[in-house]
Structure 1
């Protein structure tokens, strides 16, 4: 049986287990992909496995503001991500990750051990949220320094290691964790703080350019407006932008200065 790729980027392979990933829909239109970080992380991991033809992947979006009756019946109040593997539903993030690693064919290859990388990317998103929460106060060096310092450490690590991705020249679970967060930082910090990831972080931008070339990221990436809406709702922020009226935009271009080394 030939492989099939559906309109929304699902990869269907013959004669392999079908995995369904239920993810949050956009809070703007209730249909396209939402900006849940864990949803995108698992989407990327499973998409990579589907590309390797170890699984067939089906991705379903659910509008949590108006969930369908069968969703309420089957999952009660449990929000996505939800993984369904051969009729068994896995509902909690840690259990989903463990299931992909131990039970999904090929999944163990994504979960490499690298304590240095794990420590390097830990708390990055927390520092971003701390920075964004103060968006109505003056944008001082003190406010942005924790986020900026960690981005610089990631840049320096990538420059020193010299690989395409965090742990080598093939993707791992760490890349599926980091890149969605970098995209939130790129879009969210610009929207709420007018902050751009410095172009001098050329190794970090080179890494992001590599990720932007991958279907696993492109197919799972939410629109800029959904990222802004997600951050606004999550942190209780206010914005005058009418993003719900805008045509969806997906920012994946690399600043020209960042390509100059």
Structure 2
């Protein structure tokens, strides 16, 4: 059934109204479909000129949304669950994590980044930056810690060598976190002159490995598109 299904993914359009816009939730679903190897059509929705499309296809909704065999689905988390269920082995790879803790890794980074980048009070800058940095350190520690299956292979392993959050393969957890980390990396450097410290070797390795994956790299919005969404809110008073 899934192999012959008609799958349509609608994502936010960029300023040029054609390429993929800045939306980590859109990129998350885009990555999942690519990693699944599913056949689907991608439509970029220009929110400034799309009232008819939204009214006809997904009234009251904003991208991302999915149409599967004519059935509209609008909740990102539920779409992810649905795709993992219907695009299942043996025809499609399983993307769910073996270790449940992987699903929550880095969950506080984007929240602390947003507070840091949107802070308008210079007096609070250092405090916000330290809190943001601490969330990056926490993720680095998670990436350094071996998972149980790694210890099964090597009980003496003290530092993990896995490429991604859960294993050496990208999972749903990575599809959720990596689009946010990409925004963090681009915006922090350009607007706050903050770079992820090289001392966070596990996090640096994680990102390096991710950028080598076409399914991630191809779905990333262009840097100017990301920065245009943050320039106004990143200015100090």
Aligned residue-pair number: 218
Instruction: Tell me whether 192-201 or 131-140 shows the greater mean CA deviation.
Output: 131-140
Quote how far apart the aligned CAs of 1:190 are. Answer: 1.9
Partner residue of 1:24? Answer: 12
Partner residue of 1:83? Answer: 66
Partner residue of 2:185? Answer: 186
Q: Aligned partners of 1:198, 1:135: CA distance in 2, in Å?
A: 24
Does 2:124 align with 1:133? no
Residues 120, 234 of structure 2: 8 Å contact kept: no
Deviation string, structure 1 residues 154-192 (Cα, Å, up to 9, x no partner): 122223322011111111111111111111111111232
1:43 to 21, 30, 53: 30
Which ranges in structure 1 are unaligned for 5 or more consecutive residues? 1-14, 240-261
Partner residue of 1:167? Answer: 166
Quote how far apart the aligned CAs of 1:114 are. Answer: 2.8
Instruction: Tell me whether 163-172 or 104-113 shows the greater mean CA deviation.
Output: 104-113
Quote how far apart the aligned CAs of 1:85 are. Answer: 1.4
1:237 to 226, 233, 236: 233
Question: Would the alpha carbon gap of residues 124 and 174 (structure 1) be closer, same or farther in structure 2, given more than 3 Å must change?
Answer: same
Aligned pairs (5 A) from 1:1-261: 16-26=4-14, 28-50=15-37, 55-67=38-50, 69-106=52-89, 109-135=94-120, 137-138=122-123, 140-159=125-144, 160-232=159-231, 237=233
Residues 26, 64 of structure 2: 8 Å contact kept: yes
The TM-score normalised by the length of structure 2 is 0.83
Which ranges in structure 2 are unaligned for 5 or more consecutive residues? 145-158
Deviation string, structure 1 residues 62-84 (Cα, Å, up to 9, x no partner): 10111162432221231110111
Quote how far apart the aligned CAs of 1:115 are. Answer: 3.5
Q: Aligned partners of 1:200, 1:49: CA distance in 2, in Å?
A: 34
Quote how far apart the aligned CAs of 1:31 are. Answer: 1.3
Instruction: Tell me whether 215-224 or 149-158 shows the greater mean CA deviation.
Output: 149-158
Residues 84, 90 of structure 1: 8 Å contact kept: yes
Quote how far apart the aligned CAs of 1:238 are. Answer: 6.0
Residues 135, 192 of structure 1: 8 Å contact kept: no
Q: Aligned partners of 2:182, 2:114: CA distance in 1, in Å?
A: 13
Deviation string, structure 1 residues 1-35 (Cα, Å, up to 9, x no partner): xxxxxxxxxxxxxx643422110001x21111001
Residues 135, 193 of structure 1: 8 Å contact kept: no
Residues 98, 166 of structure 2: 8 Å contact kept: no
What's the RMSD between the two structures over aligned residues? Answer: 2.2
Q: Aligned partners of 1:73, 1:226: CA distance in 2, in Å?
A: 27
Partner residue of 1:258? Answer: none
Quote how far apart the aligned CAs of 1:39 are. Answer: 0.3
The TM-score normalised by the length of structure 1 is 0.76
Secondary structure of the equivalent of 1:142?
A: helix
